[in-house]
Copies of this chain bind each other. A is one copy, B any other.
Amino acid sequence: MIIDKLYEQVESKGNSCVGLDTDISYIPKGLMSLHANFEDAIFEYNRRIIDATLDVTSCYKLQIAYYEAYGIKGLMAYKKTLEYIKSKGAVSIGDIKRGDISKTAEMYAKAHFEGDFETDFITLSPYMGMDSIEPYIPYMKEKNKGVFVLLRTSNPGAKDIQYIQTQSGDRVYDQVGEMIASMGKQVMGECGYSSIGAVVGCTHAEEGEKIRSKFSDTFFLIPGYGAQGGKGDDVKVYLRDGNGGVVNSSRGILLAYKGKEDGERRFDEYAREEVIRMNKDLRG
């Protein structure tokens, strides 16, 4: 199970997940000018960040919107980056937040679990219900794939729907979590976590302990750290013995070079430093 690989990566390297949400404006001018095509510059930037962080990070998450924004060429950089991560034996997460009827979900599975955009994990949105998650399960069982389903997100608007109080006395996200956990029992890894994980932002700490203990078999993808405001102490409550979750940071890592000595040339070294600092902050 892919979740076992991710668990082991966390054990040996730490909880950080490098978010390759690569906006063109983040790429140092010197690097940009070396490439005739911007898609090559995006890939080369990602490649250097990956090379500099391979031994200190558990996984890489690519937010596909940043690539889609540059159309076909942007998606070529997305594809190339995923292929590079795979060639290095590292774990990748395609942050695509898809969610659709089962026949469409089958097409998304084909798109993101094989072919051009193949990745180890994808993120999914649960609004359409559990039959929008099910079509990915054969890929989890047979092709070593996994998903993270949105549970409680890191943005202020999370409260609009996820926090609606239900007649049963809990919140919408509680019920989503129960459905995910129940479905996840089919694809449990040896590490004790399921290949159906959940996205749980670290910016609303108030119910963190309850969430961690209630969904004890669910591995968390935790956004919100760094640029979005979350700190190490906000995250720890979502981990268990230092594992059970990976913590994404994008701008915090990609832009670590800003204002630093020789930053534009050594952006990858500063990204590495930030990842190491982050690992310590999350475990310390």
**Taking beta carbons and an 8 Å cutoff, which residues of A are in contact with B?**
21, 23, 63, 65-66, 68-72, 74-76, 79, 97-102, 104-105, 107-108, 110-112, 115-117, 125-132, 150, 153-162, 164-169, 172, 175-176, 179, 228
Q: Nearest 9 CB-CB pairs, A to B?
A: A129-B157, A71-B116, A131-B157, A129-B160, A68-B111, A65-B107, A165-B167, A69-B107, A69-B110
A-B pairs with beta carbons under 8 Å apart, 17 shown: A21-B104, A65-B107, A69-B110, A97-B100, A97-B125, A101-B153, A126-B161, A127-B150, A128-B153, A129-B156, A129-B159, A130-B157, A131-B156, A164-B166, A165-B168, A166-B166, A172-B172
Residues of chain B with a CB closer than 8 A to A176's CB: 161
Nearest B residue to A132, CB-CB: B157
- Give me 11 other A-B pairs in contact (C-beta within 8 A), A97-B99, A129-B161 excluded: A68-B117, A69-B108, A71-B117, A75-B75, A99-B127, A101-B154, A101-B228, A129-B160, A131-B160, A164-B175, A165-B167
How distant is the Cα of A71 from the Cα of B78 in the complex, in angstroms?
Answer: 11
Give min CB distance, A2 to chain B, whole Å. 21
A179–B107 Cα distance when bound, in Å, is: 31
CB nearest to A133 among chain B residues: B157
Compute how far the CA of A185 lies from the CA of B79 in the bound complex, rounded to whole angstroms: 40
Knowing A75-B75, A127-B125, A165-B166 touch, does A102 contact B155 (C-beta < 8 A)?
yes
A205 to B75, CA, bound (A): 40
**Distance in angstroms between the alpha carbons of A105 and B117 in the assembled complex:** 20
Q: Nearest Cβ distance between residue A149 and chain B, in whole angstroms?
A: 10
Residue of B nearest to A72 (CB): B116
Nearest-Cβ distance from residue A102 to partner chain B, whole angstroms? 7
With A70-B115, A99-B97 as given contacts, are A65 and B155 in contact (CB-CB < 8 Å)? no
Provide the residues of chain B in CB contact with A161, threshold 8 Å: 126-129, 172, 175-176
Q: Give the CA-CA distance A107 to B167 in the complex, in Å.
A: 37
CB distance from A187 to the nearest CB of B (A): 18
